[in-house]
Amino acid sequence: MTAFLKQLRQVWLAWANWPVFRVMFWVMALQWFAVWCQVRLGMFYDFGGYRGNTFEFNWWWTHGIEGLLDFCDHVIPVLLVPAVPLMIGWKLRKEMADWRSALAPRFRFLHLLVAAVIGAAILLVMAVAPAALALMQRYASTWQWNWGNAPVYYHGKQFVAFVDSISGNRLHFFDEVHGIDLRIYSAHFMHYDFWPAMAQMSWLLLTVTCIAWVAASVSSWVGLVVLLFAAAPLLGYGYNFYFFRLLAPVDYDRGRSFVDPGAVFGGPVLLLFAFDGLLLALLWRRLYLMPVGLDSVRADERVPWLSGMLVGLKRQPPGGLMNAGIWRRAAHRRAMGLGRRFIWLVAVFTAALILCSPLSYSSQQWFVHGDFAFAAILTASLISVLALGLSWPQRFAELSEIELLRPAPRNQCAREIGLAMLYDAVELAVATLGTMCVVIAIWSPSIFSTWMFWNTLAAAVLSQVLTFGLLASAMLEQSTIASMIAVVLSTLALLILMFEANWLAPSIAAAAIGVILTVHAYRRWLLAETNT
């Protein structure tokens, strides 16, 4: 027993001293501090909302301290939710690949146990527990009500309800701010919100499991697509719409038409929880039985069988590029995992999914509304950003020294590789946005005549210019962290610009920054080392 505890302590220390874990700890501390500030300041949670006909977020430049606190206690955790399983899965994979996992007794079991406890604790502390702070607030019910718009905390509501009930229901039953009588709402709290909250929690668990699965075992393009679809709803606004409603095709409107959520949600939610549990058990088993020297196994898994066919390069004869123009040479240098056919395959697949999504709703009202076009364009843009951001920096780091020694002067080489990346960026944007416009044309053709749609589309396109500049700069650092920061910044910029699409100037400014970054990256490229 003592030996077991000693081992457990060592494994725990190995995880607790992991730098990534420390970063996560401070991010969570920042989130808790922001929530605590909001409670002390008597602010209630309202992460954006409709102002007139436009949905707006509380950005710090428009809402000052309120926006900043919202950012800390909402946006940061939303980004952290996919990061936690990703990093834990990645570390577990490394641990299991280590020779000690085969020779040291209980090594695998203890690592899996500690990782599971840490992962569960982080998600609980980050996503659920902050809800408890609501109890310190005078208008706790108001918090609960407003949390309906906050995906990460949504499942925290029933936690608050539970604490409410055992604390003698000391809540004020009148929302002075909204003028809504919440007595009925509170009385039926479990009835109204328990199952929807559980539905969201089950999806959160599925998302987390999918991400951990991808990080721990399969890292192919297929896995990436799964990851995108699992993680996309966490990125915010689309969360309630994509999956919440897909799970229960009802008009969930507590104000007008009451539908018993328990009756509708119960079955699918329990099934989803069972599926989550099965996936987690399989993931545990997979890691527990994973062979030592996993990296060579992964090298094999990293290349999906379709990849060669999807590259789609035009074959050149030997020496065929010697006297070719820069455009043809750049097109030749596009050789990478993101082949042309792959780009179009992903775009069509995504569009097909979005096209089919309204079929699972009982009412298609929402789809003729502008929000559908907005969500579709946002999805297309995110896929474009992530695909470019996850593929090119890796390619550059692995192959830059070989590329640089191909017969071409350094500046020509920089231009050709930059153009090759630009080709991919443009084709990705055209493919994803173009196919999505077809979907929009099918479901809500009237939206094309609105100024808002074209503003949003322009913002999406202009934000890609910023993304290109950020990635071109990050690529030169040849660092995974720099690339991830660029992807996160691009995603944030995309969200900000698209939510502010009624005003095009920020998008144009962002695109200008993208151009400046690109030019700067080109100049730095001419002096860059290729020390991989």
Partner 1 sequence: MTESAVIIAGLCKSYRRHPVLKRLSWTVPAGSVVGLLGKNGAGKTTLIKCALGLLHPESGHSLIFSESAWSLDAATKARIGYVPQTAGLYAWMRIKQLIAYTAAFYPRWNDKLVQSLLEQWELSADQRIGRLSVGTQQKLGIILALGHEPDLLVLDEPAASLDPAARRDFLKAVLSVAADGTRTVLFSTHITSDLERVADRVALLKDGHIAHDGPLDSLKDSVKRWHVSAAAPLPADFVVPGAVRSHVEGTEALLTIRDGTPGVLREVEQRYGAAINVEDLSLEDIFLELHDDRVS
Residues that bind partner 1 (CB under 8 A): 296, 299-300, 302-303, 307-308, 311, 313, 315-322, 332, 335-337, 339, 398-399, 401-402, 404-410, 412, 527, 529-532
SS3 of 180, please? strand
Crossing angle of the two packed helices 107-123 and 2-16, in degrees rounded to 10: 50
Nearer to partner 1, 302 or 369 (CB): 302
Closest distance to partner 1 from the beta carbon of 531 (Å): 6
Closest distance to partner 1 from the beta carbon of 529 (Å): 5
How far is Cα 356 from Cα 243, in angstroms, rounded to an integer?
Answer: 13
- Beta-bridged to residue 54, according to DSSP, are 51
Nearer to partner 1, 7 or 219 (CB): 219
Closest distance to partner 1 from the beta carbon of 409 (Å): 5
SS3 of 137, please? coil
Nearer to partner 1, 245 or 395 (CB): 395
Closest distance to partner 1 from the beta carbon of 322 (Å): 5
Nearer to partner 1, 266 or 312 (CB): 312
* Torsion from C-alpha of 229, 232, 238, 241, nearest 10 degrees: 30
Closest distance to partner 1 from the beta carbon of 485 (Å): 21
- Beta-bridged to residue 174, according to DSSP, are 181
How far is Cα 96 from Cα 117, in angstroms, rounded to an integer?
Answer: 17
How far is Cα 39 from Cα 140, in angstroms, rounded to an integer?
Answer: 10
Quickly list DSSP for 203-222. HHHHHHHHHHHHHHT--SHH
Please name which of 218, 208, 4 lies closest in space to residue 113, comparing C-alpha atoms: 4
Nearer to partner 1, 302 or 520 (CB): 302
Nearer to partner 1, 88 or 390 (CB): 390
Closest distance to partner 1 from the beta carbon of 305 (Å): 8
Nearer to partner 1, 319 or 325 (CB): 319
Nearer to partner 1, 176 or 401 (CB): 401
Q: Are 490 and 389 in contact (CB under 8 A)?
A: yes
Closest distance to partner 1 from the beta carbon of 432 (Å): 21
SS3 of 257, please? strand
| Length, in residues, of the chain | 532
Please name which of 248, 268, 198, 262 lies closest in space to residue 363, comparing C-alpha atoms: 248
Q: Half-sphere exposure of residue 176, counting CA atoms within 13 Å on the CB side?
A: 8
Closest distance to partner 1 from the beta carbon of 35 (Å): 40
Nearer to partner 1, 364 or 532 (CB): 532
Closest distance to partner 1 from the beta carbon of 487 (Å): 21
- Which residue pairs from 486-490 have beta carbons closer than 8 angstroms and sit at least 24 positions apart in sequence? 486/389, 486/393, 487/385, 487/386, 487/389, 487/390, 488/79, 490/385, 490/389, 490/463, 490/466
